[in-house]
Amino acid sequence: MSFGDPNNPYGPPQGGQQPNYGYPQQQPQGQGQPGYGYPAAPPVQQPYGGGYAPGPAVMPGSVKAARVMLFVLGAFQVIGGLLMMVASAWFVDQFEDAASTDPNISAEDADTVADIGAGVMIVFGVIVLAFAFWAIFTAVKFASGRGGARVSAIVYASVVLLFSVISLFASNVFALISVILGILIIVFCANRNGSAWFTRPRY
């Protein structure tokens, strides 16, 4: 019996024949999927804001202070708007009384001027009430912590600050309160605590 016979089962393996022919090949270690019963690798945690901090779960104190200031400004503006609308009727009466003593002003002209003045006061009162609604609505939205509430608060405080500075130059010392509150609202909403609260993830 020749060992060179290709049909000899006891002869050496012929060229081109793979070792362990007929048997399943073992998978190299470190490759492929993990076997049954072995835990898979944990998912990679996505970073938040450049780090892994989940954001504050409770509204920071500075953001709460800005929210209270919005409520305060809104309340004062509600009072101011209502007073302006109520005072329009008083303005009409005062102007008509003054015009009745002046012979150069007819009753018709006095009524026209009084109506225009009352209308202007009512319009300004409505504008002030709209600003009050803006402030209160924005403060309420602070609880949800959306970015739109932050932008709304900063824009509102900027507008209030602008008109308060103009009023301050007109010798209205009470406008100083609005100036201070407007600055604080902008600072508290734009600082790190405000950014963390309004950009925190929602689950």
pLDDT digits (tens, 9 = 90+) for 74-125: 999 999 999 998 888 887 777 767 666 666 766 677 777 777 878 888 999 9
The predicted pLDDT at position 173 comes to: 84
Query: How many domains in the chain?
Result: 1
- Give ∠ CA 196-197-198 in degrees, rounded to 5: 100
Tell whether 40 is covered by a domain. no
- Give ∠ CA 65-67-70 in degrees, rounded to 5: 110
pLDDT tens per residue, range 151-176: 999 999 999 999 999 988 888 888 89
Single-letter residue type at 162: L
Tell whether 93 is covered by a domain. yes
Q: How far is CA 144 from the centre of its chain?
A: 9
Residue-range definition of the domain harbouring residue 186: 61-198
Q: Which two tokens mark 203? A: 């689950």
Tell whether 21 is covered by a domain. no
CB 199 within 8 A of CB 54: no
The predicted pLDDT at position 99 comes to: 66
Gap between the Cα atoms of 110 and 137, Å rounded: 40
CB 57 within 8 A of CB 104: no
Tell whether 185 is covered by a domain. yes
Tell whether 130 is covered by a domain. yes
Of 74-78, 129-133, 156-160, 193-197, least confident by mean pLDDT is 193-197
Tell whether 51 is covered by a domain. no
The count of other CB atoms within 10 Å of the CB of residue 154 is 20
pTM recorded for the entire structure: 0.66
Confidence of residue 49 (pLDDT cuts 50, 70, 90): very low
Single-letter residue type at 42: P
The predicted pLDDT at position 120 comes to: 85
Average pLDDT over residues 134-150: 89
The predicted pLDDT at position 20 comes to: 53
The predicted pLDDT at position 164 comes to: 92
The predicted pLDDT at position 102 comes to: 65
The predicted pLDDT at position 157 comes to: 96
The count of other CB atoms within 10 Å of the CB of residue 77 is 22
Residue 42 pLDDT exceeds 70: no
Tell whether 158 is covered by a domain. yes
The predicted pLDDT at position 73 comes to: 95
Tell whether 123 is covered by a domain. yes
User: What does the DSSP 8-state code read for residue 176?
Assistant: H
The predicted pLDDT at position 108 comes to: 73
